[in-house]
Amino acid sequence: MTAPPGSEKILSLIGFIKWVAGASLIACFLGGIVAFTAGRLFDHHRTGRMGLIFMMAAGVGAILFAVGPQILNTLAR
């Protein structure tokens, strides 16, 4: 079975989107660490809580990023 014409560009675009999503997860996690640390250092509890929420959201996003394609492949069969 051969791929349809033009599929290389689609796969390239999907690869770029996956790269941006991964970089965004890393940036969210690192930003959460900075906010959490700053909130605790300067005794600003709301900022510390928001940093913790950012880190947890990045963790859940990373799990979905890793498991999501396998779930979609299973449902698509």
Per-residue pLDDT tens over the stretch 62-77? 999 999 989 988 998 8
**Does residue 15 belong to any structural domain of this protein?**
no
Contact 25, 62 (CB under 8 A): yes
**Does residue 10 belong to any structural domain of this protein?**
no
**Does residue 1 belong to any structural domain of this protein?**
no
Contact 33, 51 (CB under 8 A): yes
**Does residue 5 belong to any structural domain of this protein?**
no
**Does residue 13 belong to any structural domain of this protein?**
no
Is the per-residue pLDDT at 1 higher than 80?
A: no
Count up the domains in the chain and report the number.
Answer: 1
**Does residue 8 belong to any structural domain of this protein?**
no
Mean pLDDT of 45-61: 96
Q: How many CA atoms lie within 13 A of 45 on its CB side?
A: 0
Structure token pair of residue 23: 């970089």
59/30 Cα distance (integer angstroms): 11
**Does residue 32 belong to any structural domain of this protein?**
yes
Boundaries of domain holding 25: 20-76
Mean pLDDT of 30-58: 96
**Does residue 54 belong to any structural domain of this protein?**
yes
Comparison of pLDDT for 41 and 76, the residue scoring more? 41
pTM of the model: 0.82
